[in-house]
Amino acid sequence: MIAGSSPQQWVNSLMDTLGAPGAGIAIALENLFPPLPSEVILPLAGFAASTGEMGLLAAVLWTTAGSVVGALALYGLGAWLGRERTIALASKVPLVKASDIERTEDWFSRHGAKAVFFGRMIPLFRSLISVPAGVERMRLPVFIGLTTLGSAIWNTAFIMAGYALGENWKVVSGYVSTYSKLVLGIVVLVVLALIVRRVVRTRREKQRG
């Protein structure tokens, strides 16, 4: 990223230089570096399409390809970590037990396909969901298919919104930013609730012991 430039300026420069492939590269990087938000990249690509700087279909295809490439990189990270490394790392986190990982594995074995598909449409989880898919070695054709479909729906919706709104494309970013903050708030509350529950349970076990 250019020093001192905002994510929007950097993405805009990339699209000006490369067109639709530039939007695809930006989305691939967004999977790996969350400070590059899709709520900026996608509507901006739609706006660029409305001005004729790139084709609308090309914008959808390239950003979807970028989503899949970024997701595959994180899937590869999860596959490299594997179950044993994941358990070893998790055991170093306070209040986390191996049984928590086992329960997560059981849940993913039942709902993994839904998680990968719908996760592509939820901020924060868009990138993270690829890691457990790799850890659990979800079949690669299934992972690619679900990721492609979920990403295509998400990308198309926001590109079309930017295309329709034109110079007012930033309106989309505002709504998605609020949605992202809501999701993050819910996640924080759930994590806090789990921590409190675990602390209380640990104290009770110590008292009984």
Q: What is the pLDDT of residues 151-179, one digit of tens each?
A: 999 999 999 999 988 888 778 777 776 76
* Tokens describing residue 31: 């999977």
In this predicted structure, what is the pLDDT of residue 66? Answer: 94
Alpha helices in the chain (DSSP H): 7-18, 20-32, 38-50, 56-90, 98-119, 125-128, 130-135, 140-165, 170-208
Spatial distance between the Cα atoms of 70 and 127, rounded to a whole number of angstroms: 8
In one-letter notation, the amino acid at residue 131 is: V
Could you tell me which residue, 38 or 102, shows the higher pLDDT? 38
Place of tokens 């850890």: 135
Residue-wise DSSP of 7-61? HHHHHHHHHHHHSHHHHHHHHHHHHH-TTS-HHHHHHHHHHHHHTTSS-HHHHHH
Please tell me the distance from the alpha carbon of residue 55 to that of residue 61, in angstroms, as a whole number: 10
What pLDDT, on a 0 to 100 scale, did the predictor assign at position 3? 39
| Mean pLDDT, rounded, for 177-196 | 68
Segment of 5-14, 15-24, 78-87 carrying the highest mean pLDDT: 15-24
Average pLDDT of the chain?
80
CA distances from 2 to 11, 13, 41, 49 (A): 10, 10, 16, 24
Q: What pLDDT, on a 0 to 100 scale, did the predictor assign at position 2?
A: 39
Q: How far apart are CA 95 and CA 197, in angstroms?
A: 10
